[in-house]
Amino acid sequence: MVLTTPAHCPRVRRKKNSEGVRRKRKQQTPRQHKDGAAAAPAFKPALVNDLATTDLKSYMTNFDPKSNYDYIALFMSYLEDKKISPVTFNHVYTCFRDAQIKAPVAFRQAFIDTRNKKGFVEFSSPFDVSLTERGRNHVQFGELKKEGG
């Protein structure tokens, strides 16, 4: 059986240079966008040693977080209640570690997603993060609160 292409489906030809050899795609340098703009530098979180989180687990008993969005909003609320100012990515990372919860691998991206997709946090840099009213309401009155809690 011979397969042929129908007349209405022209064959796609690959571009060749003057010697008749296919051109290879130009290799992009790592962490570079297609438009040539440089990507944001990776953020490596660190523990905050002087942050007392002994009551964090008891604070979490009233809540049922299901995603990183929820954990970030919950930890931001906890830090806000402790009057920590300004809150940084490192403070939230310390909460993840002290609560023995796996921190997101792409930690900075988790904050960007929490801001852009849920609107729970607002920040201009990793060293000044704030919980929005929407995030505060999600923690206090939303689906994050345990039933009967």
Average pLDDT over residues 19-38: 61
CA distance 114 to 68: 8
SS (H, E, C) 96-139: HHHCCCCCCCCHHHHHHHHHHHHCCEEEEECCEEEECHHHHHHH
pLDDT in tens, 59-114: 999 999 999 999 999 999 999 999 999 999 999 999 999 999 999 999 999 999 99
Whole-number pLDDT of residue 55: 95
Site of tokens 């296919």: 22
Sketch out the chain's domains with CATH numbers.
66-140 (1.10.10.10)
CA distance 27 to 22: 15
Token pair for 117: 């997709």
